[in-house]
A = this chain, B = another copy of it.
């Protein structure tokens, strides 16, 4: 059945990939974005399609009356990269709390299912490793990352309270670091930074020693997981980790990028930002059990090749830093 689906943050990295998947499956997609961390180029091809609509809008303002007859909402609107979400932390908090309040009201009014792009950051700098969904986290509530970490925690709280109070059908995905085509070259995350730096002949910036770890998930695996979570017919609400459990140090990632890309760039060290988590790796048993055997299929080497190919096709002078 063809559905009417709202994707907030739909012009962003993950959002535009989801929009492409949904229009390809024949759904009618209403993309909502204010372009604060993305460019129209991400959805240029989509804008030509009959089953794709775009609304330029900040979700901290209500969408009431602007969209109707909605079946599903993917709520992805939120700056996602530390330098970007820290640029205007109060707006990041408002996007999380007020934006999510607005979307929950829309879901309730339309009897729609609503999925939230939550994050591994709800675990903060985890003392339990790897992280299952039951882990309650280690977040500094007053630090410079808190606008994002606490912001995402409170959206989960709001969702479960709307679910308990009004039976809104919610889906909570806790997404671990994801990379791939349609990332913005200047959004400041480590994979996009390293590839862009090599392409532009700059040095690769390692923050701290580079011994901190992350688990990198390729975008297609994430999109598949989000799609399954949204459409699971068990009434499974989550929270559900979606990530690739293969863990790498940032130094290993840098070495891999240099190995794959010709050019003479070298590693330089910069200061580690405060509250930067030292390790991160998902337990994905819940996703496997609840989402029909979901597991990541594309490992880092292959995913990097695809991402490098995408970035190599961009004209870097079209892009400008956000911060």
Contact (A93, B157) CB under 8 Å given A98-B98, A124-B136, A136-B124: yes
The interface residues of chain B lying within 8 Å CB-to-CB of A147 are 157, 161
**How many A residues are at the interface, by size bracket?**
35 or more
What are 23 A-B residue pairs whose CB atoms fall within 8 Å in the complex? Answer: A90-B158, A90-B161, A93-B97, A93-B154, A93-B158, A97-B98, A122-B141, A124-B136, A136-B138, A136-B139, A136-B141, A137-B141, A141-B153, A141-B156, A142-B156, A146-B157, A150-B150, A150-B153, A150-B154, A150-B157, A151-B154, A151-B157, A154-B154
Q: Which of B97, B140, B239 contacts A154 (CB 8 A)?
A: B97
Closest chain-B Cβ to A309's Cβ sits at a distance in Å of 38
Instruction: Tell whether A89 is near chain B: CB-to-CB under 8 Å.
Output: yes
CB pair A161 B89 closer than 8 Å: yes
Residues on B with beta carbons closer than 8 Å to the beta carbon of A289: none
Known: A150-B154, A157-B151. A90 touches B138 (CB 8 A): no
A323 at interface (Cβ–Cβ under 8 A)?
no
Known contacts: A136-B139, A136-B140, A156-B142. The answer to whether A165 contacts B90 by CB under 8 A is: yes
A311: CB under 8 A from chain B?
Answer: no
Kindly list 8 other residue pairs between chains A and B, CB separation below 8 angstroms, not including A89-B164, A124-B136, A146-B160.
Answer: A90-B162, A90-B165, A93-B157, A122-B141, A141-B153, A146-B157, A150-B153, A153-B153
Chain A positions 84 through 96: 1 when the CB is less than 8 Å from some CB of chain B, otherwise 0: 0000011001100
